[in-house]
Structure 1
């Protein structure tokens, strides 16, 4: 039996939202506030508010955009109230879970060195640029949807995205160049003729007991 004021269809839809969008909402919030524990609290608050407002919600084909709008508002409110509490340690990015067509996190990519440096590059963007890119990435939202969510004109949203991507591309190209130089130095060092020792150290042909 459904309690008064509750509807079986509401509960089914809400459960579907949590299953389909929970990871993306939490990932967006981790990327915004950079703390897993705080992101967990805010994620719960997002779904709590969505449930409380369920009677006013009308299906419009993009539940994730609706939930991200709540998440974005909560993250911005938190930033205004407690900016000094936000953890700017890059480890916060490791907990992000990007959205995909099937809602699964790309765990291996997140653990890679390239992903780490991508997050560092994102952190060097302006707040509006990072916000737009995260909404595009986690929510797969259109620029019109992002403009409506943020209150910015569509052209401003496009500009933030374009400049953010340009800055990211430049930083990642520089990263690739540094990585290439490190590899060249490593290859040069590895190619140097090793010195042999008559005395201490490891024997020339391996550790004791090895052929």
Structure 2
């Protein structure tokens, strides 16, 4: 695996296609943080993000093994597009799923019941400033929030963001600009310092 660390994504993909499993492991380790963080910010649930991340890996492996991977030199944007599409698919599926309502106040039963308790490591990892940014991001319009997440957490270029979100580069830049302006305004209004 050490010899694979200096190889490009393209080289690692070809090594994996030739049967070297270490090449795939190196590729996954190289990009897992960006992929997982982007998924987590979109779905806002650690366990769901882990499930979707696994689905992304399965789809990547299946596509490469079948010889359908064609975006040479652009592995991360391609993988991010898969992750984004799987998140969108999840939300579409959730919209179609009927919800179970409680008696009088008509709340969704799964919003009322608490099935899991956060583990100690999750509590430790949540720093105050990280939580503040996440709360502020949640207050932004979806299109602005998505661009900020893809730019700052997934480190995608505006060209890649535009392709992923099916908009022009200027629209992506505008969403980023207005998103940052709105974040600054909210920080001033709420007297929040990071």
* Structure-1 separation of matches of 2:23 and 2:139: 38
1:173 aligned partner: 188
Q: Which has the larger radius of gyration?
A: 1
Instruction: Structure 2: give runs of 5+ residues left out of the alignment.
Output: 1-15, 100-107, 112-117
1:191 aligned partner: none
After TM superposition, what 4+ stretches of structure 1 lie above 4 angstroms from structure 2? Answer: 83-87
Per-residue Cα deviation, 1:91-140 (whole angstroms, up to 9, x for no partner): xxx99xxxxxxxxxxx98x6332221111000001111111111112221
* Matching of residue 147 in structure 1 with residue 162 in structure 2: yes
1:37 aligned partner: 47
Per-residue Cα deviation, 1:139-197 (whole angstroms, up to 9, x for no partner): 2111111111111111111111111111111112333x367xxxxxxxxxxxxxxxxxx
Which of 103, 125, 141 aligns to 2:140? It is 125
Which of 67, 70, 77 aligns to 2:82? It is 70
2:92 aligned partner: 80
Contact 1:147 1:157 in 2 (8 A): yes
TM-score of the two chains, using structure 1 as the length reference: 0.64
Instruction: Structure 1: give runs of 5+ residues left out of the alignment.
Output: 88-93, 96-106, 180-211
Contact 2:60 2:79 in 1 (8 A): yes
* Structure-2 separation of matches of 1:135 and 1:50: 19
TM-score of the two chains, using structure 2 as the length reference: 0.70
Aligned length: 155
Post-superposition shift, 1:26? 1.4
Tell me the secondary structure at the aligned position of residue 82 of structure 1.
Answer: helix
Tell me the secondary structure at the aligned position of residue 72 of structure 2.
Answer: coil
Cα RMSD, aligned residues only: 2.9
Question: Kindly tell me: are residues 7 and 113 of structure 1, through their superposed partners in 2, closer, same or farther at Cα, counting changes over 3 Å?
Answer: same
